[in-house]
Amino acid sequence: LAFKFSPVESPATAPWRLSITTEALPAWVRAEVVSEARLGEATVTGRSVIRYEIENAPIKELIIKVPAAWRNVELTGSNIRRRDQTGTQWRVELQNRVRGQYLLTVLWEQPAATGTNQLELAGVETVGVERESGFVSIVAPSRLQVNPARTGEDLMRVDSTELPAWARARGGLPAGQEAVLNYHYLRPGWKLAVVIQRFVEA
């Protein structure tokens, strides 16, 4: 706030006065998630990088929800004090309050379905944010052919060049692997079913 005071002929008889009130604003948090699922013979290994945009007020706690099929979940990020798990929900407490951008990385594994060539995939969800959007990439070795069997209405097919620059800058893929499917979503809760066909090396 800024004001201009225009004195009258006799300022001593007309002093200015201003009354103000303050209000603590709640934090406004937006999340963008880039998930990568790497298909193997018996296991799917994945990495989901969450970029938080924190405005208005700093926060000290982050909550995420992971699919029930995920195993060996690991959460990494700067300034983390503790990680608590309750069922499929994880609570991350930071040492200090943060504001602006914050990156949280989730590493996970999911057993591949046995006796079938179809695989069901789902993504991490951020809890308590105003808005979440993101991308998901399916990575497979050249001997595997992957086709979508069923996608949710929230998934839109995109090219790998449409991934955010901050996500592409975090490293390439191992030799012999490539992102065969890429999707963009505008709200959490996406689900994707893919059909995997294995070929013999030739």
pLDDT recorded at residue 179 = 85
Which two tokens mark 104? 């949280």
Sequence-ordered strand ranges (E) for 66-142: 71-76, 80-86, 89-111, 118-122, 125-127, 131-141
Q: Exposed/middle/buried for 193, CB within 10 Å: 0-12, 13-18, 19+? A: middle
What's the mean per-residue pLDDT of the chain? 87
Task: Compute the residue count for the chain.
Answer: 202
What is the DSSP code (8-state) at residue 5? -
Distance CA 125, CA 62 (A): 11
The string over 166-186, giving b where at least 16 C-beta atoms fall within 10 Å of a residue's C-beta and e elsewhere, is ebeeeeeeeeeeebbbbbbbe
In the prediction, which pLDDT does 109 show?
A: 95
Q: Looking at residues 165-188, what average pLDDT do you find? A: 74
Percent of the chain at pLDDT > 90 equals 58
pLDDT at position 177, please?
58
Candidates 60, 51, 37, 63; CA nearest to 181 is 37
Residues 6+ apart with CB under 8 A from 169: none
| Chain-centre distance for alpha carbon 188 | 9
- What does pTM read for this prediction? 0.83
- Decide if pLDDT at 94 tops 50: yes
CA–chain centroid gap for 97, Å, is 19
What's the pLDDT score for residue 175? 46
Instruction: Kindly report the number of other CB atoms within 10 A of residue 188's CB atom.
Output: 20
Of all residues in the chain, the percent with pLDDT exceeding 70 is 88
